Structure 1
Amino acid sequence: MSKIELMDRYIYSFEEQISSSEICKFVDTVFGINLESVLVLDKKSLQAPSSNNMDQSTMSPSRTVIDSYLDLAKHKMTGMEIRKMLNQIFGINLDGISALEKERISLFSKGQWVVQNAKDLFIIHTGIEDVDVTVLPSIYFMEHSGLEGLPSELQNSLSHLGYNHDKKIRGYYFSNPSGMAVTDQFKGQTIGAIIEVIRKSYSDL
């Protein structure tokens, strides 16, 4: 059972609306992401009142925002809806993260490792607010491919997306000139470019 399927079943098991506490606990336990330490991108929701009967002064900003979203829902939210909500609040795409685990791509995001396995070939590193993205070769990849950086075909693909070469880190770097978080579409294009190279040339490493 995938992590997404597990999340859907877990949320479905609640007779009433799931709480922010249970959401944070599940995401931390299953995905290894501590939502309570992640920067809230949706600042407006921090000011929204919540009907949660707990003292909000003792709650993290993350849980306060999640509660405000849950309060606005007129129905019991599904797993898919909650994942969409978390993406809006934190810029964390749990569906995408779950899919990454099979592709040998490590992900460092929101100040913590989200996906990381010993035999991953490439690393995607995003800044705290997702304004900048860096793509790097893993140590495993360099040791087993004989290359000291990203393969040329991946370099070309990333260059077309707007990335620039950084010799110091042996990788490619992109910073959104708008100062805003990069879009899910851009993230998807980056991941797609990496997956294409892995499947074409390095699946046997």
Structure 2
Amino acid sequence: MTKAEMMDKYFDSYGKRISSAEICKAVDSIFKINLDEIPILSKEMEGAVGVSFSTGNVLASREAMDVRLNQYDKEITGAEIRKVINEILGVNLDAISSLEGARISLYSKGQWVVQHEKDLFVVDTGAGDVDVKVYPTNYFTEQTGLVKLPTDLQHSLTSIGYSYDEKIGSYYFSNPTGEAVPDAFKGKTIGAILKVIQYSFSN
């Protein structure tokens, strides 16, 4: 059972209107992600939900979720809850769930979202998700002797807009608009990495 399915099962059995506090508790329990530490995605989103985020206001994300949840006139599904979380906080739990077992570590919003001992590559998103770094794990280097990404992955990432940054030793992309990198671009990044893992490191 995937983590998304576990979340669905949890809320299906909940049997009443759900609050942001219960959502945060479930996400922390199932995904090990603390939503209270994640700021609202954008000023536009703050205005849309009628709350403002300020440094140290850890309840802003809960307030924003409660405003959105109150717009539902029926019991909300796990899939709808994940959509709300992604819209407000930029945390795509469906995508995170799909990474289980993929051998890709994900560092986002200041915390490890997915990380396992034998992961091969890291996708690291910066503050506000406006930039992304991709680099090999220590395990990958220990197993292959390579300190850089495989050549085929370098080419794949370059083709979608990444460039190698020697200062940080990573392939790097920064959204020129200054906005969060779209989910579609993150999907292309993950897809490029998965393709290399499938063809070269699947045994």
In the superposition, the TM-score normalised over structure 1's length comes to: 0.91
In 1, Cα distance between the equivalents of 2:49 and 2:77? 23
In 2, Cα distance between the equivalents of 1:104 and 1:59? 31
Structure 1 residues 149, 17: CA separation in 2 closer, same or farther (over 3 Å shift)?
same
Q: Secondary structure at the match of 1:63?
A: helix
Count of residue pairs brought into register by the alignment: 195
- CA drift of 1:45 comes to 4.2
Q: Secondary structure at the match of 1:40?
A: coil
Q: Which runs of 4+ in 1 moved over 4 A?
A: none
Aligned to 2:81: 82
Q: Does 1:18 find its partner at 2:18?
A: yes
Residues 36-79 of structure 1: per-residue CA shift (max 9 Å, x gap): 1101112124525xxxxxxxxx9700110010011111211101
Aligned to 1:40: 40
Contact preservation (8 Å) 2:120, 2:140: yes
Contact preservation (8 Å) 1:163, 1:172: yes
Query: In terms of mean alpha carbon deviation, does 29-38 or 9-18 score higher?
Result: 9-18
Unaligned runs of 5+ in 1: 49-57
- CA drift of 1:12 comes to 1.1
- CA drift of 1:26 comes to 0.6
Contact preservation (8 Å) 1:46, 1:61: no
Q: Secondary structure at the match of 2:127?
A: coil
Q: Secondary structure at the match of 1:141?
A: helix
Q: How does 1:56-95 map to 2 (within 5 A)?
A: 60-95=59-94
Contact preservation (8 Å) 2:37, 2:58: no
Q: Does 1:109 find its partner at 2:112?
A: no
Q: Does 1:157 find its partner at 2:160?
A: no
- CA drift of 1:14 comes to 2.1
In 2, Cα distance between the equivalents of 1:167 and 1:142? 17
Q: Secondary structure at the match of 2:135?
A: strand
The code of the aligned residue for 1:4 comes to A
- CA drift of 1:3 comes to 1.1
Unaligned runs of 5+ in 2: 52-56
In 1, Cα distance between the equivalents of 2:150 and 2:38? 33
- CA drift of 1:20 comes to 0.6
In 2, Cα distance between the equivalents of 1:186 and 1:3? 23
**Identity among equivalent pairs (%):** 53
Query: In terms of mean alpha carbon deviation, does 10-19 or 76-85 score higher?
Result: 10-19
Aligned to 1:134: 133
Aligned to 2:123: 124
Aligned to 1:189: 188
Aligned to 1:30: 30
In the superposition, the TM-score normalised over structure 2's length comes to: 0.92
The code of the aligned residue for 2:93 comes to L
In 2, Cα distance between the equivalents of 1:20 and 1:183? 25
In 2, Cα distance between the equivalents of 1:151 and 1:168? 19
